[in-house]
Amino acid sequence: MLHVRERYGNLIRLNYRYRGRTGYARRFLLTLLVAASLLSGCATGPTDTPAPVTEEVASVPPNAGDSTETIVILHTNDFHGAVEPEEIQGSGGTSEEGGLVNLISLIGQLRQEHPDRTLLLDAGDSFQGSYVSNNTQGELVMAAMNIAGYDAWALGNHEFDWGQEPLRARIAQAEFPALAANIHDEATGKLWDAVQPYTIVEVGRIKAGILGLAYPGTPAISRPQNVAGLDFRQAEEIVRRYLPELQQQAGLIIVLSHLGYDGDLALAKAVDGIDVIVGGHSHTFVESPRNVNDTLIVQAGAKGQVIGRLELTVSVGTGQVVDYTGRKVLVPVTGNVAVVNQEVQGLVDAALAQAAETVNQPIGETAVALRPQSAGEFALGNLVVDAMLAYELDGQRADIAMHNNGGIRAALPKGPVSFGQLYAVLPFDNQLMALDLTGEQILRILEHSVSSSPGKMQVAGMTFEFDMGRPKGDRIVQAAAGGELLDAARVYRVVTIDYLASGGDGQETFLEGGNPAYGDTAVWAVAQYIRAHSPVYPQVEGRIIQR
């Protein structure tokens, strides 16, 4: 068969390069047709002269004649520093969901099913979100990822929350590649020197090419100084650039993406030749792989509540996927792991002990359960901005308080509230700032908040109404402050967070504000407010009305 393989090698490779432009069934038929033609040619050829047995044949490993290999992709995303498990009350009592120890222990358990044929990937936003993780700028979570033995990690937008130097420290700590093919140096136009565009990993007899993509909109939702000098390019152009290079080196093409589910769908539709997209950013629980243009799209929710497990049957000769897990690819992370990873347990125990005094500090209670919301007015948002409005900067209170929805990240259950719980609600260490803004400028800020995504806004000291049926730029129907219609010419004192004041969420109008004053962090101000008003009972009051 060696002379047959040599003779028809180009034809086989040509069939491989054609993959991604037809359905799986059609591509598999093409492979069968090629194989049939090869067998036909052998049958009609001379039979009295057998092919010589060479050292190459003798050295072929066992099972080399198998045409396919079964591999497993284990994947996580958007862990957000969720070190401690969440306690869930059910009919059978209390159970655990998530948690760093449970997550890494379950990864180890799942990996034992196919120890030499498993890829472990993470799609970013790994650290930011809890006091225990933020206290070391993600060092604890990265140490656990090293123990788990990840094969690759794509950068998420929140990896930049502490700036580029702390991120470089986490990349240096990682014992696996940090991938972001679409982050470039603005000055040179070259790939940012802290990352790799892709990596090639051998898994069983399959070579997997893994290309990483960061979120292109990162500059719009980050502090400008944290991404200064970096150019986040669009995904499609980058994948088209690297795809031929990857296909020369690997059979299976994987994009490790922090684009969000909709971005992954768009990429799969636009670019042929991607076998799998392992996604993140949108916190989507993809229960069954989505097949778009012969690309399988998966994502595993957020905060370590589940692990994605995608099993693939891959052709050894062509690298094409001939079968895959069709449904139920998310494995719940609970406290019922067979073997606890003691190394990670030790790290977590030490970190929790160090943070215990701060995290467990009681600050009051809430009379109602409170949850974040991506758009519109919500009670937890009102609690945050009411606390900001009550806070005095330079000895005076502001007229208006504003905080973006996207910065309010976690729920507060009814009952006692600890500082650690509140920190999970406001994990970004944003500093309060007061600015002078005219009514006209405030209207522009509100207009942007209802016309863009992200960019929704919570307010105190004012109300506003908007109509999405009106033209963009004219959607604010009415706004009032202090019980009176907003005066476009009047100057108002506005308290916000430094993230917005520096233009975050695309809110560049804040940059026009005058007489800035700086205060404590938002989480500290809200903690003081809860202490003073406990038990708090925030409600939706009609501050924001959509017509």
The helix-helix angle for 235-249 and 261-270 (nearest 10°) equals 60
Intra-chain end-to-end CA distance of the chain, in Å: 73
Asked if residue 440 has pLDDT above 90, the reply is: yes
Q: What is the pLDDT of residue 455?
A: 58
| Closest to 120 in 3D by CA, of 181, 72, 81 | 72
Mean pLDDT for 128-137 is: 95
Quick one: which H or E segment has residue 178? Answer: strand 178-179
Asked if residue 6 has pLDDT above 80, the reply is: no
Which residues have CB under 8 Å from 544's CB, separation 6+? 376, 377, 458, 459, 463, 464, 465, 466
Confidence of residue 462 (pLDDT cuts 50, 70, 90): very high
| Closest to 238 in 3D by CA, of 199, 279, 267 | 267
**CA separation for the pair 40, 33 (Å, rounded):** 10
For the sheet with 544-546, list strands across it.
484-485, 476-481, 462-466, 544-546
Mean pLDDT for 151-168 is: 97
Q: What is the pLDDT of residue 41?
A: 40
439-to-150, 442, 456, 490, 507 alpha-carbon distances in Å: 51, 5, 18, 6, 15
Q: What is the pLDDT of residue 285?
A: 98
Q: What is the pLDDT of residue 13?
A: 34
330-369 residue pLDDT tens: 999 999 999 999 999 999 999 999 999 999 999 999 999 9
Is the peptide bond between 538 and the residue preceding it cis, with omega within 30 degrees of 0? Answer: no
**CA separation for the pair 100, 347 (Å, rounded):** 10
Angle, CA of 228, 231 and 236, to the nearest 5°: 155
Longest CA–CA span in the chain (Å) reads: 102
Angle, CA of 123, 325 and 336, to the nearest 5°: 70
Q: Is the dihedral of CA 478, 484, 490, 493 positive or negative?
A: negative
Q: Contact 314/252 with Cβ under 8 angstroms?
A: yes
Confidence of residue 87 (pLDDT cuts 50, 70, 90): confident
Q: What is the pLDDT of residue 92?
A: 75
Which residue did the predictor score with more confidence, 460 or 223? 460
380-432 residue pLDDT tens: 999 999 999 999 988 899 999 999 999 999 999 999 999 999 999 999 999 99
Q: What is the pLDDT of residue 91?
A: 75
Q: What is the pLDDT of residue 15?
A: 36
Query: Can you give the pTM of this predicted structure?
Result: 0.82
Q: What is the pLDDT of residue 451?
A: 87
HEC string of 469-506 equals: CCCCCCCEEEEEECCEECCCCCEEEEEEEHHHHCCHHH
Q: What is the DSSP letter of 376?
A: S
266-287 residue pLDDT tens: 999 999 999 999 999 999 999 9
Mean pLDDT for 140-156 is: 98
Q: Name beta bridge partners: 232.
A: 183
Q: What percent of the chain has pLDDT over 90?
A: 82
Mean pLDDT for 507-524 is: 95
Look at the block and give the residue holding tokens 């979120």.
215
395-407 residue pLDDT tens: 899 999 999 999 9
Q: What is the pLDDT of residue 51?
A: 32
Q: Name beta bridge partners: 74.
A: 120, 309
**CA separation for the pair 466, 448 (Å, rounded):** 11
Domains and CATH numbers, the chain: 2-356 (3.60.21.10), 362-546 (3.90.780.10)
Alpha carbon 363 to chain centroid, angstroms: 31
Q: Is the dihedral of CA 464, 467, 471, 477 positive or negative?
A: negative
Lowest mean pLDDT among 92-106, 148-162, 226-240, 294-308: 92-106
120-to-92, 159, 163, 319 alpha-carbon distances in Å: 33, 19, 27, 19
Which residues have CB under 8 Å from 149's CB, separation 6+? 111, 120, 176
502-to-137, 223, 432 alpha-carbon distances in Å: 22, 7, 12
Q: Give the tokens for residue 463.
A: 């109300």
Look at the block and give the residue holding tokens 């922090």.
258
Confidence of residue 453 (pLDDT cuts 50, 70, 90): low
Q: What is the mean pLDDT of the chain?
A: 89
245 φ/ψ angles, rounded to the nearest 5 degrees: -65, -40
Q: What is the pLDDT of residue 59?
A: 33
Task: Read off the amino acid at residue 513.
Answer: G
Q: What percent of the chain has pLDDT over 70?
A: 87
Q: Contact 278/123 with Cβ under 8 angstroms?
A: yes
Asked if residue 28 has pLDDT above 90, the reply is: no
Asked if residue 64 has pLDDT above 80, the reply is: no
Q: What is the DSSP letter of 89?
A: E
**CA separation for the pair 521, 506 (Å, rounded):** 21
Confidence of residue 470 (pLDDT cuts 50, 70, 90): very high
| Closest to 385 in 3D by CA, of 494, 304, 468 | 494
475-502 residue pLDDT tens: 999 999 999 999 999 999 999 999 999 9
